[in-house]
Amino acid sequence: MTEYAGPRQLRRLLDAVMSISSDLDLAAVLRNIVEAARDLVGARYAALGVLDPTRTHLAEFITVGLDDAQRASIGALPKGHGILGLLIVDPRPIRLPDLRAHPESFGFPAHHPPMRSFLGVPLYVRGEVFGNLYLTDKEDGDGFSDIDEELVLSLAAAAALVIDNARLHRKAEEVSLLAVRERIARDLHDTAIQRLFATGLEMQGTARMSDRPEVAARMQRHIDDIDTTIRQIRGAIFEMDVAGSSRAGVRREVLDLIAEAARVLGFEPAVRFDGAIDTLVPPGLAVHLLSVLREALSNVSRHANATAVEVTLRVNGDLWLEIIDNGRGGATPGGAGGLGMRNIARRAEELGGSTVVDSGAGGTRLCWVVPL
């Protein structure tokens, strides 16, 4: 004989649906779902296991019914073995009068409270399994019923909509944050940089009017400071442009390589960026760029006996990489580091670019240029 939910149970379901719909924060929504499911069927313990992207293991495990001390004593959260794994392999409802008697039972870790009756249902979001709801130990002492299963399935269907809404809300917040970044970047470019540039031009004109060399020299230092500030602001703008990008970014990779080279050189090379490096340099070209930079710094460490290196990376229609050291020179295709320098030149030629090396007693300047 089929059982049907009565008015009181339907009212509890409605209250549960309302309770999980009261928040837009995804973490809060997930916890609300677990609490609502436990209260809906009168379970002592409840949990929601969120699947990882491969849908083979649990990435999150939200529990209700255990206090902080119990959770700490149990240790690591489950990954989806034993009974919990059944729903991962076959996402269909499972109802057991005694989960310990099931052949797939994995047992409990030390300090885990004993559990007997079990109800598990999958939670679908947009047609894909998002996770599973687990309920144990019916508080009235009986096992979970057909009605309990139907109530939790109904709650899971409503929960799917709430989770989807929370995820969309989070995405909207991310888009809004990107819009704010773009506005700040635009204001910096259109206002701050232009004013600094205009101020620098006026100072240049003033410096030319002065008949005192020390005043002109001081003005030029201020102009150089303004130019450096403009470059730093541009760098901040381009960092905003690629915030949230799925790849690390050429800037980050260059800085990581510089940090790696510093350990060999014994000092930190100076680095300057100019232009939309992360935006304009494609991944394929970035591979060549990093190889050239690595080879050049390796040559400096092995042959130049330098105490300072300056690296400049600039995009302005072409990709420019300039490396200047104060070493003993000789870094030419026929001199020290000859094979490495030939490799650097060959990469530029294959990409339709060029390599220029000026080397002398005061050090070496390498300029590697390829079209974007």
| 247/272 Cα distance (integer angstroms) | 21
pLDDT over threshold 70, residue 157 = yes
Report which DSSP code applies to 23: -
| 275/372 Cα distance (integer angstroms) | 13
- What 3-state DSSP class applies to 244? coil
Q: What is the pLDDT of residue 235?
A: 65
Spans of all domains in the chain:
7-168, 173-241, 250-371
221: which 2 tokens? 């230092």
Q: What is the pLDDT of residue 247?
A: 45
pLDDT over threshold 80, residue 188 = no
Q: What is the pLDDT of residue 234?
A: 67
pLDDT tier for residue 336 given thresholds of 50, 70 and 90: very low
Task: Tell me the average pLDDT of the chain.
Answer: 80
* Closest-CA residue to 252 (of 276, 230, 278): 278
Q: What is the pLDDT of residue 136?
A: 92
Per the document, the length of the chain is 372
pLDDT over threshold 90, residue 367 = yes
Rounded percentage of the chain residues whose pLDDT exceeds 70 = 83
According to CATH, the topology of domain 250-371 is: Heat Shock Protein 90 (3.30.565)
The CA–CA distances, whole Å, from 12 to 17, 47, 48 equal 9, 19, 20
Put simply, whether the predicted model's pTM sits higher than 0.95 gets the answer no
pLDDT over threshold 90, residue 62 = no
Cα 206 versus chain centre, distance: 48
pLDDT tens by residue, 82-103? 888 888 888 899 999 888 888 7
Lowest mean pLDDT among 25-34, 72-81, 245-254: 245-254
What average pLDDT does the segment 287-300 reach?
A: 88
- Pairing relationship of beta strands 309-315 and 94-96 according to DSSP bridges: unpaired
Lowest mean pLDDT among 115-119, 181-185, 311-315, 358-362: 181-185
Residues 6 or more apart from 245 whose CB is under 8 A from it? 278
Pick the CATH number of 7-168 from 3.30.230.10, 3.30.450.40, 3.90.245.10, 3.30.930.10: 3.30.450.40
Q: What is the pLDDT of residue 306?
A: 85
The Cβ-side half-sphere exposure at 87, using a 13 Å CA radius, reads 28
pLDDT tens by residue, 204-222? 777 777 778 888 788 888 8
Q: What is the pLDDT of residue 248?
A: 54
Of the ranges 236-250, 260-274, 356-370, the best mean pLDDT one: 356-370
pLDDT tier for residue 300 given thresholds of 50, 70 and 90: confident
* Closest-CA residue to 343 (of 353, 331, 333): 333
> DSSP assignment of 60-95, as one string?
EEEEES--HHHHHHH-SPP-S-HHHHHHHHS-S-EE
Cβ distance 318 to 369 under 8 Å?
A: yes
The CA–CA distances, whole Å, from 113 to 105, 273, 274, 329 equal 15, 58, 61, 73
